[in-house]
Structure 1
Amino acid sequence: MTIALIRHGQTDWNAARRLQGRSDVPLNDTGRAQARDAASLLAAEPWDLVVSSTLARARETAAILAEELALPVAGAYHELVEQDYGVAEGMLVADMRARWPERDIPGMESDDAVRGRALDGLARLADAHPGARVLAVAHGTFIRHALAAVSGHAAGDYPPLANLSASVIVPGEAGWRVETVAGAPFADLLDALGGRAA
C-alpha cells in the first residue's frame, strides 16, 4: 500500500497567514488552480483512489484531483482533519505565537492526540483499501504530526508543507515508513531531523 498525504489547496486564510484548524474555510481560486496543476504532476504515477478529511477545503481539493485524474473519491475521514487550535482559530499566526509562545492555547487539541488520530487514520485507510495507492488530502500541521508519529521525530522538526505538496508513507518492517516529505526523499531530511532513520 502507498499513501500520499497531500496538503489541501490555498484558502484566503492561508494567504492571510491565519490559523485555520477546524474552521471550515473554503478553497480560493488559487487553491483550485493549485489542485489542477498538482493533478498533472500526480498523473506521472498510478493511483487508485482519493480520500480526504471532512473539512471543505480538503474535500474540494480531493474532488478536483479525482476529476482531473479520473479516480473515485472513496470517502472523507474525520481522522484526517486538522489540529484544533481552540480559541486561536482565525488569529494571525504571528499574533498567536506572540500571545502563546509555549503553544498553551485554551481549547487546543494536544499534539499527542493528533499523532494518535493520525495513526488511527492510516490504519483505517489500510483496512478499507488494502494494497491500494491512495491520495489522502489533509492539512499541513496534521501531515507533519502524521510523519512524526511514523518516523519517531518531532513534528516541529519537519519543514513547512506547501499547498498540494505530497508526502508518501508506505508499509515498513515494523509499521509505516516515511518515503518522501513534500516530494523530497526522506533520507535527505535526516540531518535536519536528528539523523535517525524511521
Structure 2
Amino acid sequence: MTLLTLVRHGQTDWNLERRIQGSTDIPLNATGRADALAAAAILAGTTHDLIYSSPLVRAHETARIIAGELGLPEPQTVRGVREREFGVGEGMLVADYIAEYGDWHAGVPGAETMDEVCERALDELEGIVRDARRRSSPRAESIVVVSHGGVIRALLLHASGGTLPREGDVLGNGSVHRFVAEPGSLRLLDPVPA
C-alpha cells in the first residue's frame, strides 16, 4: 500500500483569466507561489518520502516549492500526469469554450478524452510507485505528485466510481487530494476539498 497525495499546481495568470491552459506551458504567478506554500503547510503534518511532478513549469515549480518546505529531494518529472490536451481549445476563455463546444466532454478537435487522461495517469501512478520503491530505502510509503485539475478530476471520477467530484465542485489551485494505491486499484481517502 502506498499513500499518493496529488496536489494541483498553484495559480497562473491564465487560471486568473479563466483561460484553458491544457499543455500550454504557463508559469505560476505570485498567488500560485503562495498556493504552493499553503499546500506545503497542509502536507507538513504528515511524513512524505518523495515528490514527483508534471513536466509543465507551473506544476514543477509548485513541486520544487513544496519539496523545499518539506525537506524532500528534488522533484522527479513524469509525463503521464501532465494536463489534459485541449487541442484547438487551448488558450480559449472558459466561457467561449463552453459556448462553442457545450461542455468539457465534447469532442474538441485535437483534445484528449477524460478516459484517455485517466488511463495515462493511472499508468504513470503505477510507474511512480514502482520507481519510488526502487529509489527509496526503506521503501517509500508516502509520495506527493503535483499535477493538474483535469488529471486530478479524472482520477477522482475513477476512484469514486463517478460520484466525485460533484457537478460544480472546484478543484482549487494548491488543493490536496489523498489516495491509496494498491496493486490494480486506486482508492480515494478524502472527499474533494472545498
Alignment: residue pair count: 184
Sequence identity percentage:
42
Q: How does 1:1-198 map to 2 (within 5 A)?
A: 1-102=2-103, 103-130=106-133, 131-153=140-162, 157=166, 159-171=169-181, 175-183=185-193
Q: 1:138 to 1:63 in 2, by over 3 A?
A: same
In structure 2, C-alpha distance between the alignment counterparts of 1:164 and 1:176, rounded to whole Å: 21
Secondary structure, aligned partner of 1:19: coil
TM-score, structure 1 normalization = 0.86
RMSD: 1.9
Q: 1:172 to 1:128 in 2, by over 3 A?
A: closer
Q: 1:27 to 1:108 in 2, by over 3 A?
A: same
* Alpha-carbon contact 2:38-2:174 (below 8 Å) kept: no
**Any unmatched runs of 5+ in structure 1?**
185-198
In structure 2, C-alpha distance between the alignment counterparts of 1:3 and 1:151, rounded to whole Å: 15
Task: Work out which structure has the larger RCO, using CA pairs closer than 8 Å and 6 or more positions apart in sequence.
Answer: 2
Secondary structure, aligned partner of 2:85: coil
TM-score, structure 2 normalization = 0.88
Q: CA deviation at 1:152?
A: 2.3
Q: 1:156 to 1:108 in 2, by over 3 A?
A: farther
**Any unmatched runs of 5+ in structure 2?**
134-139
Q: CA deviation at 1:28?
A: 0.4
In structure 2, C-alpha distance between the alignment counterparts of 1:138 and 1:171, rounded to whole Å: 16
Deviations 1:22-77 (A, max 9, x none): 00000001101111122122111111121100100000000000011111134111
